[in-house]
Structure 1
Amino acid sequence: MCGESRKHGSEGAGRAARLTRLPGGSVKHATTWRPLLLSLAQAAQHLGRLSVVIDEFPYLTRSDPTLESVLQEVLGRIETLGQPLKLVLCGSSISQMEALLEHSSPLFGRSDLNLTLHPMDYLESAAFTPAWSPTELLHARTVFGGMPRYLSLLDDRSGVGDNYERLVLDPDGALHEETTRLLNAELSEPRVYASILMAVSQGRTKAGEIITAAGIPPSSLQKYLERLEELGLVQRRRSVNATPAAKNLRYRLADPFIASWHRYALPHLSALRVRGSQGAWARFVAPTLDRDPAAAPATFEDVSRTWVARHMDEFWTGEHGEIGTLIQGSGQQAAELDVACALGRGQQRRWLLGECKWQEQPVDHWALRQLQDNAARHLGAADVERWLLFSRAGFHASLTAAPDLRLVTLDELYAPTAGRL
């Protein structure tokens, strides 16, 4: 992409120059949306084709409530005249962008493609740093997440810790102020939202715990959480066997980078400004990265569930439900099943159930017994199509795969499979 941009740079500059030299110079001097859009339509006809990206569209409509109606009028005229102008409207507020598709919107029916862009998954993210081992890749996923911009800054000639110190923990690092900029740009009360994010990053996963830790009125929490969910910063979790009306909800930070900032950088800002970032990974991150259930172990579970989704045809070819977790109603962490998916429906329903072990020792029969015991607590004597065990350090020699047991190592999780990327 960059190479192509350099190759055609002079041609692109020429087109931009011609754009400003259209009759009357109206593109360059337009002061309102209508003449600007009409001039762009003329430019499209002059050039043969033109695509224009309008970013942060929700903010523009708030500053000018007539923009949608103006667009409706102009697009109608463009369609009548056959002018080859394509408008791409972008915005980070999902609910407001979705509102453009509703019947009440002036732009209803005008869109021919609607995309929601998500962070890259773990294999796509790994492609940015091919020199790193599977363990390093999972650590990178834990602290950097899957946003392409963050991943493009990584240098796999040095370790994950060196990159995190350079980019995030260093007060002059490219991503040191990223979370603050994001909250200030997207939210009207950034301090309140930051307190909620901090509470969730510290393991407060239930509404009552968040209210207490963040110090906000109970009546306000839902409003704040919905906004954070809309921005993809917080994610609600419920057991895959829960009814839609179930109240046993838990919350987690959906963006690993935001989570790592609140977990490892924000509590130590004063020390980082005084002492710098050198050695900060060893002091602040490494001691808990592999032991904190919300850090690398949680990433390992996420990666395992994504792997199951990619390889579902190995286990089941029919109808199946969401791939998620089974959560104990009482909130006991030990009774959770890390991977769960209902196969089929009704009385013919079976289950795919798994346990993830992010430990340095090979997994033995104890993990399988724990998985089966927890399954009995949740599902009683339900039929299980396949048991799955995921292990960072492999498996004990006495534990071997069987028709109803699939063993998956970290190396296998990160092994690209043809046709699946």
Structure 2
Amino acid sequence: MGVAVWPSDAHRTASPETVFDRAAEWDALHAFACDTRAGASLAVVSGRLRQGKTYLLKALTDSLGGFYFGAQPATQGESLRRLRDELTRHTGASPPNHWLSWEDAVDALLALGDERPVPIVVDEFPDLVPQSPALPSIIHSAYRRLREPGRDNRARLLLSGSALPVMHRLFCAASPLHELADLELTLRPLDFRQTARYWGIDDPALALLVHAVVGGTLAYRRYAGDDAPSSMDDFDAWVCRTVLSPLTPLFLEAHHLLQEETDHWDRALCHSVLAAVASGCSTQGEIAECLGTSLTDASHCLALLQANDLLCSGPDAFRPNVIRLHMTEPLLAFEHAVVWPYRSTLEQQDAVEIWRRVRPVFDSAVARPHFAQVCRDWVMNFAEPAIFGARPETAAHGSLPDPARHADLDAEVVVRGRSDDRTKTLLSVGVARWDEVMDLHHLEHLRRLLALLAARGEDVAHTRPACYSGVGFTPGLRSAEADGDVELIGLDQLYRGQ
């Protein structure tokens, strides 16, 4: 990947005020677009739907006098006609001759950079490729011509897309476009702290509940009619008047999201897989057993959901051969754990009574595991290394059989650091409880886990027990913290501390 030359501070354009907390992404795009070096360059911008890619790219072209084209599923002839018409409006020149092929269109687009660096955006690029499979090779050939000695073109082409499997395929190492990319940028959902600021929520408990419902997708505040809960007392009513109301776009968003991301796959199976994960199934075998389907069918569906960044997987912190899955999009978890059995009823009955009935399910199946994930995210993104004695390398869920109790002992936040050998150093073993005041018996749980790990040969001499709570800690546990026996992390530290 090439290194963009930053424009001087005097010429750097600040990100638009309406672009929330995307300063790093804006700076990277602006640096790429304003790179004054000779030679055409290419950037790849990807990310799931609703993350603000289009808004950011339009703001970039507007601020720098660039050209933006939003692709749509259409025939090649229709796409070429639309592009020709929009390019004509942009340049103000006489309409070009009818383009017979993408070779003509790509040459005309890149010619915009003959006189100065200029951003040229083709948004939702994957929509063009099914009807024009040679397009990546055509762009590659055009760049090879522009990079010949004596050419001074400085086009800054940005290809963007939301279809993640297609974007990965188009720009993988085997693709003709891969070697051209000077910048690869992925827009991800806001993290839990950014989401609290975006929704204007100061109360950490309320912020976590809202994040458990809508996650960090920027568009969802607009989909909720810019309606944010005013307090914890307003949370239940907010859920009823937004995500559970057929009058808001949020009501069907989970359905639309899955439909758009999974294309024509067996959506019924995808919904069932997500419902199984939302119910607590975390391994491929558990999911297949829950659905009564074969491992092969389940694995195909799981692979599709992971390719679209709707599920992610990782090894168990204590048993690396056990691969655990969890949903990356909170709205899908909320949908399949809470709403799915009552969707048709919600279209006919008042949401308040249904929500009263399913609120315990939300607390146990959504808020609790979401809190644990937020704790893991805090470890990786915000915690000071001194808390664990070293910089964390991974934070994951761990589960270990306890022969004495004929049951598994779980730790929701297992932190490992770098090590010279194959096994990463065990820095901390922690339990996370969203709605429990934590007491000394939680510390005893951790001590039992550490004893089992030591019996298995794990070095736990410097492993720090940790308790994460959304409610608080008893005086006894606070005393243990003062003695250096345990680390206690509450909501204030998760949202405001390090």
TM range (shorter): 0.7 to 0.9
| AA in 1 matched with 2:124 | E
CA deviation vs aligned residue, 1:107-133 (integer Å, no higher than 9, x gap): 131001112332221111111123342
Deviation at 1:344, TM superposition (A): 5.0
Contact kept? 1:344, 1:350, Cα under 8 Å: no
Pair 1:256-2:326 in alignment: no
- TM-score with structure 1 setting the length: 0.84
CA deviation vs aligned residue, 1:79-135 (integer Å, no higher than 9, x gap): 443333222222334444334444432113100111233222111111112334211
| Ranges in structure 2 where 5+ consecutive residues have no aligned partner | 1-15, 20-57, 69-85
> In 2 relative to 1, CA 413–348 (structure 1 residues): closer, same or farther, beyond 3 Å?
closer
CA deviation vs aligned residue, 1:197-228 (integer Å, no higher than 9, x gap): 12222223332332244343332221211111
CA deviation vs aligned residue, 1:278-304 (integer Å, no higher than 9, x gap): 5543333x22222x1x31111111111
> In 2 relative to 1, CA 11–219 (structure 1 residues): closer, same or farther, beyond 3 Å?
closer
Pair 1:351-2:408 in alignment: no
Contact kept? 2:318, 2:400, Cα under 8 Å: no
Aligned residues: 407
Deviation at 1:67, TM superposition (A): 0.7
CA deviation vs aligned residue, 1:352-378 (integer Å, no higher than 9, x gap): 111112225x32211111111123223
Residue number in structure 1 paired with 2:304: 227
5 Å matches for 1:154-303? 154-156=226-228, 158=230, 159-187=234-262, 188-189=264-265, 190-243=267-320, 246=321, 248-278=322-352, 280-284=354-358, 286-290=359-363, 292=364, 294-303=365-374
Contact kept? 1:78, 1:85, Cα under 8 Å: no
Q: Secondary structure at the match of 2:375?
A: helix
Residue number in structure 1 paired with 2:462: 384
CA distance in 1, matches of 2:438, 2:388: 25
> In 2 relative to 1, CA 406–38 (structure 1 residues): closer, same or farther, beyond 3 Å?
same
Selected match of 1:307 from 371, 378, 382: 378
- TM-score with structure 2 setting the length: 0.72
Contact kept? 1:19, 1:43, Cα under 8 Å: no
CA distance in 2, matches of 1:49, 1:279: 59
CA distance in 2, matches of 1:265, 1:404: 42
CA distance in 1, matches of 2:402, 2:132: 50
Question: What is the RMSD computed on CA atoms of the aligned residues?
Answer: 3.3
Contact kept? 1:234, 1:254, Cα under 8 Å: yes
Pair 1:90-2:163 in alignment: no
Which structure shows the bigger proportion of residues in strand conformation?
2
CA distance in 2, matches of 1:321, 1:333: 28
Residue number in structure 1 paired with 2:175: 105
> In 2 relative to 1, CA 13–113 (structure 1 residues): closer, same or farther, beyond 3 Å?
closer
CA distance in 2, matches of 1:78, 1:163: 55
Residue number in structure 2 paired with 1:406: 487
Deviation at 1:317, TM superposition (A): 5.8
5 Å matches for 1:15-26? 19-26=89-96
Pair 1:325-2:397 in alignment: yes
Q: Secondary structure at the match of 1:252?
A: strand
Percent identity, aligned pairs only? Answer: 24
CA distance in 2, matches of 1:318, 1:34: 54
Contact kept? 1:234, 1:251, Cα under 8 Å: yes
Deviation at 1:325, TM superposition (A): 2.1
CA deviation vs aligned residue, 1:59-88 (integer Å, no higher than 9, x gap): 432332101111112223344433332222
